[in-house]
Amino acid sequence: MARFKVTLEYEGTRYSGWQVQKNARTVQGELQGALRKVFAGSDFEFYGSGRTDAGVHALGQVAHLEARTVLGPEIIRMKANDVLPPDINIIEVEKAAPAFHARHDAKARSYLYQVSRRRTAFGKRYVWWVKDKLDTGLMRGAARAFSGMKDFRSFTDDDPEEKSTLVFIDEVQIEEAGDLVLFRVCGSHFLWKLVRRLVGVVVEAGRGRLRPEEIPPLFSTGTDLPAKLTAPPSGLFLEKVYYGDEKRRAELKPVLSVAHER
């Protein structure tokens, strides 16, 4: 058996998330269907580094593939891409150590979120258009409250009785790019809806409706405020999964050219 590291991108609008589900079209399901054709019915295993929600995109999702095959990495990539739908693309396939695990070996993950301050004809599927005026200074002040180890039970629909809701967030970066406000959230791992609720809370602060000092109590109370402020999935991208001592990305750029200069 050979093991491979697979890096891929996808536009998640048409899919019910990453993970295979009955009676739903998913990214993992499409990839497994393509790989069955590549390996002509031979058994294989294919696991992602983590799930993404319905409508969420990925710039650098990672999976590991184990298969009994004589095909080289580049041949596997080309053959799979030939039968995949156009909104899923395998960027790279490379040989991996026999014990490599896409999820367990990941050291950190980063997500990118795009907020648009104007109505756009081209990027609706890739941004959250916020009509209200946003103060990025207030947003940066609010974002600082999320750094470090926090209990995010109010920021997820995961059951804290079944899964730890403690997550370490390295930092939340916020940059302006024309009419876009870009967020990068980097952390050890992420819970269901965590990033979207974090962005929603920070945007509420940017609107002037939530003071920075009101955010820390959200980690220690059973409030439903973060759930009410959940940002839509359209602006969210799994940016990168980090392994070993990979250097963290510094520059924050928009995914598409919807950042019209004023």
Query: Which residues are annotated as catalytic?
Result: 53
Question: What is the per-residue burial (b if ≥16 Cβ within 10 Å, else e) of 77-95?
Answer: bebbbeebeeebebeebee
Using H for helix, E for strand and C for coil, what is the string for 192-216? CCHHHHHHHHHHHHHCCCCCHHHCH
> How far is CA 215 from its chain centroid?
23
At a CB cut-off of 8 Å and minimum separation 6, what does 212 contact? 138, 141, 142, 144, 145, 205
Using H for helix, E for strand and C for coil, what is the string for 1-52? CEEEEEEEEECHHHCCCCCCCCCCCCHHHHHHHHHHHHCCCCCEEEEECCCC
Output the DSSP codes for 107-118: EEEEEEEEEESS
Q: Which of 236, 235, 217 is nearest to 226 (CA)?
A: 217
Q: Which of 39, 35, 128 is nearest to 88 (CA)?
A: 35
What is the CB neighbour count within 10 angstroms for residue 216? Answer: 11
